[in-house]
Amino acid sequence: YNGVAYAWRNNAGGTALALYKSSSSGWTAVALGYQLEFNTGTAAISEGQTVTGAGGATGVVKRVVLESGSWGSGDARGRLIFASVTGTFVLNENLLVSAAVKAKAGGAQSAITLLPSGRVETEIANFSGSTSTIRLYGCDGVNPAFEFDGTTYVPLRTGASPDAPEHLAAHALHLFLSYGSSVVHSAVGDPYSYQALLGAGELAVADNVTAFLVQPGSQTSATLAIYTTGNTQMLYGTSLSTWNLVSYNNGVGAKAYTAQNVEQSYVFEDRGVISLAASQNYGNFDTAALTLHIRPYTQQRRTLATASAINREKGQYRVFFSDGSALYMTAYNGRVLGFMPIEYPNPVTCACGGETADGSETSFFGSTNGFVYRNDAGTSFDGEDINATLTLVFNAIKSPRVRKRYRRASLEVSGSGYSEFTFAYDLGYATLDIEQNSTYANALVSTYWDRATWDNFSFDGRALAPSEVELKGTAENIALRIVSASDEYPAFTINSAIVHYSMRRGLR
């Protein structure tokens, strides 16, 4: 948020949830400030004004939260947020600004504290149209929702009991919050107000809400996808008078914290990765899953999803699992290009993305060891090697029943710096009937022990360059394999592999 990374974590004693801010000197705790209840407000109190109690307590107002009534009628009720307070306010004493009575105190001020062990979900939103009111909104399933601007932390109260929303979305100038199977939204343009008379409301859905996803559109044609554990519903309209909640797909829901918008909406659920378009076309059948061809992989992890993220530069949707694995999906112009399984040395428990101060894309994740890591950055896993293996399918080069004598391969590699990788190949489905020209084993790929020829290559960092390797052997097909292991080489891309060969006889 505003180029700064923030993190929530239980304090050392596990008695409260604390907010931390990253800085050049490390993580520093963010003071949450104080709040003071007020009632019988007769004249507006503004941010930046100094409020004084009749007994002498004072504080500079950081935020005014009007929750009911109005200043003009004298029944305004709400809270004042302070960074600090001198003295102690007293119940029913007059609150003065420049000696003028504005309201009465609802009691002594209280420090803003958070119960421990919440799972924080956030969204940056703007409800007024001014660039000064672009703020962070969040909830954690344990405490009330909140607003934060980098300095001032404002708990948001909806009147629900318990007031501990689990998921949120900023949609059509409303703040939406989920409480189990109930969806509560604020008044239009006012995330502080949940009065029905001002346009706030509540919707009931079929099951516990697991995610919100705002769909493309304008303020006059807005749509909000509401995912539950086993269903998807669409909320059409722009306000309380025009809401229309429609069932989109019964039997297809989403796992919590796995919903993301790339070029369309993607979620992870029991069948695997599913897009809104696929669920509409194929219903709740397994064929709706974009990961149908890797079903064993997703079925083993269908109860393990912990978080998700996107990489806009690469067009990737990423879902993370508690066993340390992750699944990256790359999409381009609405077409899925492929999936890649990933292994993390430290399992991802939560993830977020954003922009740095210079506008570059960045992402972070938290792990089970309590550390925060920056993803897609650097050349190592926190100092450890990054191991990568690419095994291509057996390629018959459009002649599956004809033997070929393989002579040479040219790998087109691009990157930004010096890199090394290891190359190998198998012939004829790796059958033992064909000499595989074994030289030595590579510990990175133990399943291919003594079954391939390995060679080491270096890439000198040119924008694009070929790497040549000699091939030996005759078979009907060939499978190429590439292995990399390093904690210092930058990322490189293998764009293509050109195989040189001579046609031989057909198989007998």
Type of residue found at 440: Y
Give the per-residue pLDDT at 424: 87
Count of other CB atoms within 10 angstroms of residue 192: 19
- Is the separation of the CB atoms in 248 and 234 below 8 Å? yes
Per-residue pLDDT 10s for the chain (508 aa) are 988 999 999 999 999 999 999 999 999 999 999 999 999 999 999 999 999 999 999 999 999 999 999 998 999 999 999 999 999 999 999 999 999 999 999 999 999 999 999 999 999 999 987 888 999 999 999 999 999 999 999 999 999 999 999 999 999 999 999 999 999 999 999 999 999 999 999 999 989 999 999 987 655 567 999 999 999 999 999 999 999 999 988 888 999 999 999 888 999 999 999 998 766 666 555 557 899 999 999 999 999 999 999 999 999 999 999 999 999 999 988 889 999 999 999 999 999 998 887 888 999 999 999 999 999 999 999 999 999 999 899 999 999 999 999 999 988 888 888 888 888 899 999 888 887 754 333 332 333 434 455 566 666 655 566 778 889 999 999 999 888 999 998 888 888 999 999 999 999 8
Q: What is the DSSP letter of 384?
A: B
Give the per-residue pLDDT at 355: 86
Count CA atoms closer than 13 A to 270's CA, side-chain side: 10
Q: What is the DSSP letter of 219?
A: T
Q: Where are the beta strands (DSSP E) in 372-491?
A: 372-375, 386-391, 402-415, 418-427, 455-460, 465-470, 474-475, 478-486
Cα–Cα distance measured from residue 86 to residue 152, given in angstroms and rounded to the nearest whole number: 18
Which sign, positive or negative, has the C-alpha torsion 47, 164, 352, 487? Answer: positive
* Residue 507, H or E segment: none
Cα–Cα distance measured from residue 4 to residue 183, given in angstroms and rounded to the nearest whole number: 30
Query: What pTM was computed for the model?
Result: 0.89
- Please give, one letter per residue, the 3-state secondary structure of 271-313: CEEEEHHHHHHHCCCHHHCCCHHHHHHHHHCCCCEEEEEEECC
* Residue 58, H or E segment: strand 58-68
Q: Return the bridge partners of 412, or none.
A: 466, 496
243: which 2 tokens?
Answer: 């809401």
475: which 2 tokens?
Answer: 């078979």
Calculate Rg over the CA atoms of the chain: 29
- Is the separation of the CB atoms in 153 and 146 below 8 Å? yes
Give the per-residue pLDDT at 220: 59
Give the per-residue pLDDT at 369: 93
Give the per-residue pLDDT at 441: 30
Whole-number Cα distances in Å, 406 to 426, 430, 450, 495: 11, 14, 20, 20
170: which 2 tokens?
Answer: 């900023």
Give the per-residue pLDDT at 189: 95
